Amino acid sequence: MGAGVSNWRLAQAVSRIGQLGIVSGTGLAEVVARRLQDGDPGGHARRAFEHFPFPRMAQRILDTFFIPGGKSKDAPYRRLPMLDLEGRKEPMELSIVGNFVEVFLAREGHSNPVGINYLEKIQLPHLPSIYGALLAGVAVVVMGAGIPLAVPEVLRALSRHEPAEYPILVADADRGSKTCNMAFDPLEFVEDAASPDVLAVPDFFPVVSSETLASILLRKASGPIDGFIVEGNLAGGHNAPPRGRMNLNDAGEPIYGPRDDAKLSAFRDIGLPFWLAGSFGSAGGLKHALDEGACGVQVGTAFALCEESGL
C-alpha cells in the first residue's frame, strides 16, 4: 500500500497475532522527516532513533527536522534533498534512518517477524532503504512493480556491510533507455561502530503476476528466491496489464481474461512458498488460496481501511 498507509502500527498489529506484518517502504525518508516536523506525536520516532546503531547520524537528522510541538499549521514542510546517482549523503542517510525507524517500531514489543515492501520502479532509494531495514532486523523483503533481479545479491552484500550496486533505468537517454549502476558502500555511513556485526539476510518474496515472470526470476536473479506473492488482476494499483490487445470496459478499465490468470499448478510445481493477492481478503478467498496450495493471502484493501492504517 502507499506511503505511510501500511505503517508500523498496522504491521505490528498483524505480526503480534502471529501473521506477517509488512510495512510499506515507499517514501520513508519523507515520512520520518514529516513526523519529526509535526513534533513526533507520542515520541515514537525519537524512541526508535535512540536504538539506531549510528547515533551521530540520528542526531544530525533530529537536529535538522525535529520541531518540538510541531510546525505551525500553515508552514510548509521542509523540502528534502533528492537522491541521485552520485550518492549524495544527506538523502541517503534519511533513507537509511527512515527505513530503520519504520521496521524497528513494527518489531517493537514482540518477537515475530516483520517484512517491508518496495516498488522496484522507484529505484534510487533501494540501496540505502534496504540497508536501513536490515539494520532494524527486517525478516522479509517483498518487491513488485518491476523485475527485481538484483535484489538477492544486494541483500547478501548489505547484510555483510559490503558494497552493493543496483541498476537504475535512465529513460529518454540520448539513444533510448539505458541502465546505470548506482553504488552504495555501507562503510561510508558506519559511525561509532568500528566493526559492525553481520546482519541476518531476510527472505526475498518478489511479487509476480504469472508463472513466466517467476521462471525468469528463478533463472536470472542474482541469488536465491525464497517465495512468491502471486498478484491477480483484481489487485489494486500497479498490477500488470492484460496480455495481447488492450480492451477497456465502459469505465475505462482494462478487461482481463483467462490468459491473464496465473497458473497456480506451475507455482505448486516450483515448490517454493507462495501467497495469493488481489481480492483474496476474505474467509472464502483464504480457503480458496489454501486449497490451491498457497501458504496464505496478502491483504491490502481491508487493512487500508482498518483503524491501525495510516490513512
pLDDT, one tens digit per residue, over 72-95 is 999 999 999 898 888 789 999 999
Count of domains observed in the chain: 2
Cell of 236: 489494486
Q: How far apart are CA 89 and CA 178, in angstroms?
A: 25
Q: How far apart are CA 214 and CA 147, in angstroms?
A: 10
Q: Poorest-confidence range of 71-85, 89-103, 245-259?
A: 245-259
**pLDDT given for residue 249 in this prediction:** 87
**pLDDT given for residue 36 in this prediction:** 97
104 pLDDT higher than 90: yes
> CB–CB of 184/163 below 8 Å?
yes
Element (H, E) at 298: strand 296-298
Asked if residue 120 belongs to a domain, the reply is yes
What integer is the mean pLDDT of 261-279? 90
Beta strand 176-184 with 228-231 is unpaired
> CB–CB of 227/142 below 8 Å?
no
Residues 38 and 147 placed together within one structural domain of the fold: yes
User: 224-250 burial, b for 16+ CB within 10 Å, e for fewer?
Assistant: ebbbbbbbbbebeeebbeeeeeeeeee
Q: Which of 167, 192, 226 is the last residue of a domain?
A: 226
Question: Using one digit for the tens of pLDDT, what is the confidence trace for 280-296?
Answer: 788 999 999 999 999 99
pLDDT range class, residue 238, cuts 50, 70, 90: low
pLDDT range class, residue 279, cuts 50, 70, 90: confident
Note down the domain range covering 25: 8-226
**pLDDT given for residue 174 in this prediction:** 63
8 pLDDT higher than 80: yes
What integer is the mean pLDDT of 20-25? 94
Residues 156 and 40 placed together within one structural domain of the fold: yes
Q: What is the DSSP letter of 188?
A: G
Nearest alpha-carbon partner for 65 in 26, 85, 91: 91
> CB–CB of 207/143 below 8 Å?
yes
**pLDDT given for residue 177 in this prediction:** 62
Residues 206 and 242 placed together within one structural domain of the fold: no
Q: How far apart are CA 170 and CA 133, in angstroms?
A: 26
Residues 19 and 144 placed together within one structural domain of the fold: yes
- Is the Cα torsion angle 149, 155, 158, 162 positive or negative in sign? negative
Highest mean pLDDT range out of 32-36, 86-90, 248-252? 32-36
Place of cell 482494462: 254
Asked if residue 1 belongs to a domain, the reply is no
Backbone angles phi, psi at 270, to 5 degrees: -60, -40
Residues 247 and 174 placed together within one structural domain of the fold: no
Place of cell 522479509: 140
User: Could you give the 3-state DSSP secondary structure of residue 176?
Assistant: strand
pLDDT range class, residue 303, cuts 50, 70, 90: confident
Residues 214 and 251 placed together within one structural domain of the fold: no
Q: How far apart are CA 44 and CA 90, in angstroms?
A: 22
Residues 217 and 231 placed together within one structural domain of the fold: no
pLDDT range class, residue 158, cuts 50, 70, 90: very high
**pLDDT given for residue 209 in this prediction:** 87
**pLDDT given for residue 178 in this prediction:** 81
Q: How far apart are CA 13 and CA 302, in angstroms?
A: 14
Question: Residues near 18 by Cβ (< 8 Å), separated by ≥ 6?
Answer: 112
> CB–CB of 108/42 below 8 Å?
no
Q: Which of 226, 258, 293 is the last residue of a domain?
A: 226
What integer is the mean pLDDT of 301-311? 85
Q: Which of 193, 226, 259 is the last residue of a domain?
A: 226
Instruction: Please state the pTM of the whole predicted model.
Output: 0.91
244 pLDDT higher than 80: no
Residues 115 and 35 placed together within one structural domain of the fold: yes
**pLDDT given for residue 88 in this prediction:** 87
To the nearest whole number, what is the mean pLDDT of the chain?
A: 90
What integer is the mean pLDDT of 102-111? 97
What integer is the mean pLDDT of 252-269? 83
171 pLDDT higher than 80: no
Nearest alpha-carbon partner for 158 in 181, 123, 183: 183
176 pLDDT higher than 80: no
Q: How far apart are CA 168 and CA 188, in angstroms?
A: 21
Residues 31 and 87 placed together within one structural domain of the fold: yes
What integer is the mean pLDDT of 3-8? 85
**pLDDT given for residue 242 in this prediction:** 76
142 pLDDT higher than 80: yes
**pLDDT given for residue 92 in this prediction:** 95
194 pLDDT higher than 90: no
- Calculate what percentage of the chain has a pLDDT beyond 90: 68
**pLDDT given for residue 246 in this prediction:** 83
